[in-house]
Structure 1
Amino acid sequence: MVVEAVFDVVADAAPEIRDGLPKRRAKAATENVSGDVQLEADVWADDLLFEQFADLDGVNWYASEERDDLDVVGDADDGYAVAVDPLDGSSNVKSNNPCGTVVGVYDEQLPSSGRSLVAAGFVLYGPTTTMVVARDDDVTEYLVGEDGRTNLGPVELPADPVVYGFGGRVPDWTADFEGFVRDVEDDLKLRYGGAMIADVNQVLTYGGVFGYPGLQSRPEGKLRAHFESMPIAFVVEQAGGASSDGSQSLLDVEPDSLHERVPTFVGNQSVLDDLEAALPD
């Protein structure tokens, strides 16, 4: 099955990506289409994944945060689109903090709504390398190594929220969002490490909320809908949680362009209900 084969590719590539990071901590002489300075590791991981997915039957489009345009790699009349953030949190490589790879599998050509996702997942390069995959209403965690992946069992968001983490500079937060955060921090513990996927994994493990809000200087926020926001929303919602752009599920977002950004929040439903109540319509 194509979807299963997608995550076989990701699992097979993960040890090579992790092993290649120590040699690729320097900045590349390029920026991606969103204006982010690329690391050598960003470009290398993207090229590695592209080569693998281009050879996979049933994957007809490849999209990456590191590429300007959608690449046609198969019969463009049918099949799946794979959207990746090859190295989420790559700025953490220099400081030896966690980073990851994010994957969304869409059954439509991009740009497309989050409702066209049929599977999503991520690899976390932490003290161990793990992969979380959401598909068919199940979320499963795997331990990933040179000899393959080991099923660690189902993932379910804990009912009681414990941790929170929000991106963006505090002076750039809107007054409404800052007011919401002040209420949250009375009850939850701050956990924020600068790599979205590491912070999301903490929410999946302990319960709580992660988000990158719309800012005064950037109302659309920082995270890209196709490559980050909608795939993690798919994972968290299938694990029993919720997602929001401030007013609706991230899966209901309909981007007009491949690299469109969107305010992003995932976590326990109760916390996101309070978020949506605090933000203006």
Structure 2
Amino acid sequence: MADPDPVVEAVFDAVAATAPTIRDALPGRRVESGTENPSGETVLAGDVYADELLLEALSAVEGVGSFVSEERPEAIDVGGAVGEGGEGGGGAYAVAIDPLDGSSNLRSNNAMGTVVGIYDAPLPATGRDLVAAGYVLYGPITTMVVADGSGVREEVVERGDGSERDDDDEPGVTRSVVEDDLTLPDEPTVYGFGGRVPDWPDAFREYAREIEDELKLRYGGAMVGDVNQVVTYGGVFAYPALVDAPDGKLRLSFEANPIAYVVESMGGASSDGSGSILDVEPDGIHDRVPLHVGNEELINRLESALDG
């Protein structure tokens, strides 16, 4: 087992420290901000707040060289040159963030989360340059799944009892490991597919018909929540290529690569339809990609269906 990377640990400490504050701020930030993100989507006030809070927290982490967010057009230089092996090689890491994945669920009060990818290369980069990835899920409780050199673990994130204080003399945040060796269940149980059925290509629609006869539907409209169902119960999540959007909807750097890294680290598989998400070569930091993750047998069947 690899020794913990202190920069990776500090990044997830910073992300965890922001989680209760982000969650507490959501009730008053369910309205549109009046702006769009670089992908042309309407940004809610909650998106803006989470993005700004995470930028501030991660900029303070020594060893983070750039902050790259779904809500910002370009990477922000916050430290040293990115690459060359992170802390061990004298360089720094690029941290890619989807600050509030599934923020459209704010109005309906359904699950959402924060997705994190830590790259040892300037973005855009492939998923093979990830050294760690994970996500926070704002469900009935706040949890964080972390995949790094030591494996995959699930933690509960909550405010401390007040006995420990942060630098602003506020109650600290605790990270309690509830599962220290997460692996994908061998027997898949659930599936969730994004997009409208009429917009699915014929090959994917045929695959979906087979899957819906075998597994239970779990789809809530936030990728991070839907993937967590697969992480917990086994199965398959997909936001496929669409007839009018062949590149899919999800962003490679902020969503697809980190989630693929987590699922593959758990013994599962990922695919853009023909191969691992982690091998997709990006052109820009806001590139989109079809995303399919889950148990390896289900992903192999998907690729065979799309290839046929």
Question: Do the structures match in fold with TM over 0.5?
Answer: yes
Question: 1:142 aligned to 132, 136, 155, which one?
Answer: 155
* 8 Å Cα contact 1:137/1:238 also seen in 2: no
Q: What is residue 65 of structure 1 aligned with on the other side? A: 70
**TM superposition shift of 1:137:** 4.7
* Structure 2 Cα separation of the partners of residues 230 and 158 of structure 1: 21
Count of residue correspondences: 281
Establish whether residue 88 from structure 1 lines up as the match of residue 93 from structure 2.
Answer: no
Question: 1:19 aligned to 24, 33, 36, which one?
Answer: 24
TM-score (norm 1): 0.99
Query: After superposition, what is the alpha-carbon deviation per residue over 1:194-231, rounded to whole angstroms, capped at 9, x for unaligned?
Result: 00000000001100000100000000000000000000
Establish whether residue 237 from structure 1 lines up as the match of residue 269 from structure 2.
Answer: no
Question: 1:97 aligned to 105, 110, 122, which one?
Answer: 110
Question: 2:56 aligned to 31, 35, 51, which one?
Answer: 51
**TM superposition shift of 1:76:** 2.3
* Structure 2 Cα separation of the partners of residues 121 and 113 of structure 1: 16
Establish whether residue 268 from structure 1 lines up as the match of residue 273 from structure 2.
Answer: no
Q: What is residue 252 of structure 2 aligned with on the other side? A: 225
Q: What is residue 251 of structure 1 aligned with on the other side? A: 278
Question: 2:34 aligned to 25, 29, 34, which one?
Answer: 29
TM-score (norm 2): 0.90
SS in 2 for 1:49: helix
Code of the aligned partner of 2:186 = A
SS in 2 for 1:142: strand
Identity %: 59
Instruction: Name the Cα RMSD after superposition.
Output: 0.9
* Structure 1 Cα separation of the partners of residues 182 and 109 of structure 2: 26
Task: Choose 1 or 2 for highest CA Rg.
Answer: 2
Question: 1:76 aligned to 78, 81, 94, which one?
Answer: 81
Establish whether residue 172 from structure 1 lines up as the match of residue 199 from structure 2.
Answer: yes
**Match runs of 1:103-114 below 5 Å:** 103-114=116-127
Which consecutive segments of 4 or more residues in structure 1 shift more than 3 A? Answer: none
Establish whether residue 122 from structure 1 lines up as the match of residue 135 from structure 2.
Answer: yes
Question: 1:5 aligned to 10, 25, 38, which one?
Answer: 10
* Structure 2 Cα separation of the partners of residues 160 and 245 of structure 1: 23
Query: Structure 2, unaligned stretches of length 5 or more?
Result: 1-5, 83-90, 161-173
**TM superposition shift of 1:269:** 0.3
Q: What is residue 177 of structure 2 aligned with on the other side? A: 151
* Structure 2 Cα separation of the partners of residues 49 and 10 of structure 1: 7
Code of the aligned partner of 2:151 = D
Q: What is residue 212 of structure 1 aligned with on the other side? A: 239
* Structure 1 Cα separation of the partners of residues 276 and 93 of structure 2: 23
* Structure 2 Cα separation of the partners of residues 99 and 199 of structure 1: 10
Query: Structure 1, unaligned stretches of length 5 or more?
Result: none
**Match runs of 1:176-195 below 5 Å:** 176-195=203-222
SS in 2 for 1:41: helix
SS in 2 for 1:279: helix
Question: 1:161 aligned to 188, 193, 205, which one?
Answer: 188
